[in-house]
Amino acid sequence: MKIKMRHKKIVEVVRQRDQASIEELAALLGISRETVRRDLTALDEAGKVQKVHGGATLPRLFGDGPFQLRMSQNAEAKLRIADAAASLFKSGETLFIVTGSTTLYSLREAI
């Protein structure tokens, strides 16, 4: 599995479960724990997940409490909405958006 696809899968798992252990990710992806650790370090540096002892959680950017819960709910649908919305705008255009869990997914590449 290529690194980009592995990273995408790790982020999906963490978003769906709110957290994932190194052992779970290694078994799920069929890779070594060392590879998972390296991937989590890269994803943490990119702000995609928060690397913690033994695994990963949602990044701090997503906050605590009800908002964090909303961020993890329907994550795949929110990603599809974000991708569809991105296709509606051209580079250089200005867009104003309100805050919310779905709109934050639209900004995932910009952060």
Predicted confidence at residue 48, as pLDDT, reads: 87
Q: How many domains does the chain have?
A: 2
Q: Judge if 39 and 85 occupy the same domain.
A: no
Task: Please check whether residues 53 and 73 belong to one and the same domain.
Answer: no
**Domain ranges, residue 23:** 3-60
| Below-50 pLDDT ranges, the chain | 62, 111
pLDDT number for residue 111:
45
Q: Is residue 111 part of a domain?
A: no
| 39 shares its domain with 72 | no
Residue closest to 37 by CA, chosen among 51, 48, 58? 51
Q: What is the pLDDT of residue 60?
A: 66
**In this structure, are residues 26 and 1 in contact, taking their beta carbons and an 8 Å threshold?**
no
Compute φ and ψ for 25, nearest 5 degrees. Answer: -65, -40
Q: Are residues 36 and 73 in the same domain?
A: no
Neighbours of 10 (CB within 10 A): 22
* Whole-structure pTM value: 0.57
